[in-house]
Chain A
Amino acid sequence: MPAIASRLSDGSVSARLRPFLTGLPWLALLAAVTVVLVIGRGHIDKVHAALGYLLVVLVASSRSGRGWGLATAVLAFLCFDFFLVPPYLSLSVEHQPDWIVLGSFLITGIVAAQLFDRAKREAREAQARTEEVDRFSVVGAEALNGGRAEQGPEALARILRETLQVKRCEIYLFEAPDKLRLVASATGGGGAGADFGGMPESPDGTDLLHYVARYRALAVQRPTGDVHVEPSDGHLSKLLAELPGSLVTLIPLTVRERTVGVVSLVGGGRPLDAAQIRFVEALAYYAALGVERVRLVAQEERAGALREADRLKDALLAAVSHELRTPLTTIKAVAHELRSREEGAAVIEAEADRLNRFVADLLDLSRLDSGSVTMRPEIVPADDLIGAALRQLSAGAAACDIRAQVPPNRILFCRIDFVLAQRCLVNILENAVRYCARGPVQVTAALEGSMVMFAVADCGPGVPDDEVELVFESFYRGRGVPAGSGTGLGLSIARRLARAQGGDVRYAPRPGGGSIFTLALPAADVPEDASAEAGDTP
């Protein structure tokens, strides 16, 4: 690339000469003022001459900065002394008080040059701040504006590229939990670094981009090609100081301990001061916030769609269950009439019952899922709950030998929704009977701490260790269970109904074989006179 090289060297020569060239006008002006003053030196006072020179110093420092201001001041001092203070054409001074004039002039000139310079620098910084605030407001607006998901990153890439003067700025965001995708890229003329030869490898041999995101690290590839990685907390300034010479710099975008993406800066950039680095840091945080916001909005939209789907599903289930029940009623009625004549009619009726239980279970499940189960807690004696559950058992289950027992000397109370708790207990009992058809199944109630425990013990095969939690899953059936018995929903519904009112359903193996399913329900305190009025006289 000889052509590029020569152009680069041309550029650097003119750059080296430029400071001298800008000073030439002031030297010329100084010479011109000196000539005028020398011509008129018989008619003017030394103070007038000093004012003339001071004017030159002020103009020079205002236009060409402190360096030329100081240089002009010193040169003017020398000219003053040499040409205008007797003896002329000599740096010595005839009258001692003239030193005061010369000295005052030099000090005034230097101070003026300094003051001018400071004022100018402050003006420049204020200008830069204004620009930063402008950029901030743009990114802030982009980040918080509800626009399309791509707009925020695009604006961020553009602003970062312009601010840092890099060749290219790219923004990568997570499209899947472990997969980054390029979403925005800004390319421009600036940047003096060498060519970027593709994404380098990370220390552990994987793609550097994903490495940075995974470990929330900062990474820079130096011109030598080696990659430097360090933790992201607080070292951004050090990294950005290296920016002008780097091939590629990677910065993770982080919000609340979550990495949402990576910014890649390719090719050099200009040196940054502390304020600019602060700006870049804030910008990256803003951008991350924007990305996070877009993600949350998308998530919310998905959740909304899901809720709507849920609502539709519930409406559908309610309609289906209602529409199913009417024909089921007819089927049952007709089957019942046929029963005396046909053996098969009993099967029709039993199957209709089973379908009906399934519809009821589905409806319960859908209600539980949509959170539309309403609780009406009341004080319920354990006696009443067990009695009602036993009475509600299906005909087949009721034929089983079920032995119920409660403490004889006291009545236990729960604070629960009676109907929902009854369904829990019925489901557990039906399950027990299914595995222990001839019985006996034992039901007991006991107080344990703040809970009333309803334990249902059966004589079935028990639950293998690896299936203990599975039996509470919807549609799960134990191994070796005859097909067509139960819906696979009973225990799942029982547990969820119990949990919905502060209780639970748990499994334990029964000593000597079989299962114990325990329904725990919150106990209630009942005043003595309501629970045991036996001592009163009629």
Chain B
Amino acid sequence: MAGHGTALVIDDEPQIVKAVARALGDIFEVVLRASTAQEGIDQAASARPDLIVLDLGLPDRDGLAVCREIRAWSSAAIIVLSARHSDHDKIALLDAGADDYVTKPFSTAELQARVRAQLRRARAILPSEGSAIEIDGLEIDLATRTVARAGEPIHLTPTEWALLRTFVRNAGKTLTHQQMFAEVWPNSGGDPQQYLRAYVATLRRKIERDPLRPNLILTESGAGYRFATL
């Protein structure tokens, strides 16, 4: 039943650790447990897990700082558990290097889905400039800069193209607005940035089957946008 790879759960609540460990047990071969931030950092360094589930409310250190420290030397996917539901926190921890977050209380199915998405993303071979991809019936060729649905080419403006390229390259990862500005408008500040949502809405109308129920560009409320996993 167990899969392969190693996961690490860092949480001080024994009941939550138990529940998370059980959920991860279906996916990973080894599930390590740590009950303090220091223990977690040590295990992350020694065992080199593929994925880390990190609780923000640790007794000894601020979860955000732990996240930043681990991200500095580890490429493991980090999923944060948080009981606070301030949007500011979410953006801060995505900017600090977390790959995803789950708000308490979460269902085992939800956590497992998030974990699998992270693993798929890690294993997926990101499209190089030379290869064409197809997702949800949309054909994207980064090399020739063409987009088409059912053979019908779709016309994109330079900004829309830059947006789509950024999304595709970070498929499966929640991008904060700040991260997208850095990719799409690296040299301009202010004005176009406040219209990010407007550009995304226009792009959705061009590439989604149903722009009101998007399958490709998903809105992560209070955090940013996430492109569907390839």
Contact = CB atoms under 8 A, between A and B. Distances in A.
A385 B161 CA distance: 23
Nearest to A383: B201
Nearest to B111: A333
Classify chain B's interface size: 35 or more
Interface string A373-399: 000101111011011101110000000
> Interface residues of B: mostly helix, strand, loop or mixed?
helix
Interface string B66-99: 0000000000000000011101000000000000
Contacts of A390: 212-213
Contacts of A376: 87
A390 B211 CA distance: 12
B33 interface: no
Contacts of B16: 326, 329-330
A325 interface: yes
A260 interface: no
Contacts of B87: 376, 419
A390 B83 CA distance: 23
Interface in B90-134: 104-109
A519 interface: no
B88 to A, nearest CB: 8
B187 interface: no
Nearest to A359: B105
Contacts of B157: 533-534, 536, 538
Interface string B197-230: 1111110111000011110001101100000000
Centre residue among B13, B201, B222 by max chain A CB count within 10 A:
B201
A511 B109 CA distance: 42
Interface string B165-208: 00000000000000000000000000010110111111011100
Nearest to A380: B197
> Interface residues of A: mostly helix, strand, loop or mixed?
helix
Given A325-B104, A336-B108, A404-B213, A530 B23 contact: no
A356 interface: yes
Contact of B198 (A352, A404, A530): A530
B201 A384 contact: yes
Contacts of A504: none
Nearest to A405: B212
B15 interface: yes
Nearest to A381: B201
B13 A326 contact: yes
A89 interface: no
Contacts of A386: 212
A422 interface: yes
Contacts of B194: 378-379
Given A356-B105, A530-B195, A392 B221 contact: yes
A189 B226 CA distance: 91
B22 A337 contact: yes
A311 to B, nearest CB: 18
B145 interface: yes
A349 interface: yes
A538 B203 CA distance: 13
A182 to B, nearest CB: 55
Nearest to A426: B221
B105 A325 contact: yes
Contact of A413 (B20, B104, B198, B206): B198
Contacts of B109: 336
Contacts of A331: 105
A329 B105 contact: yes
A379 B197 contact: yes
B106 A329 contact: yes
Interface in A322-339: 322, 325-334, 336-337
Given A322-B83, A387-B212, A332 B107 contact: yes
A334 B19 contact: yes
Contacts of A336: 107-109
B158 interface: yes
A406 interface: yes
Given A329-B19, A381-B201, A533 B221 contact: no
A411 B218 contact: no
A390 B16 CA distance: 30
Q: Which 6 A/B pairs are nearest by Cβ-Cβ distance?
A: A333-B19, A381-B201, A533-B157, A530-B195, A329-B105, A328-B105
Given A329-B106, A384-B219, A538-B157, 6 more contacts: A322-B84, A381-B201, A383-B201, A390-B213, A411-B201, A411-B205
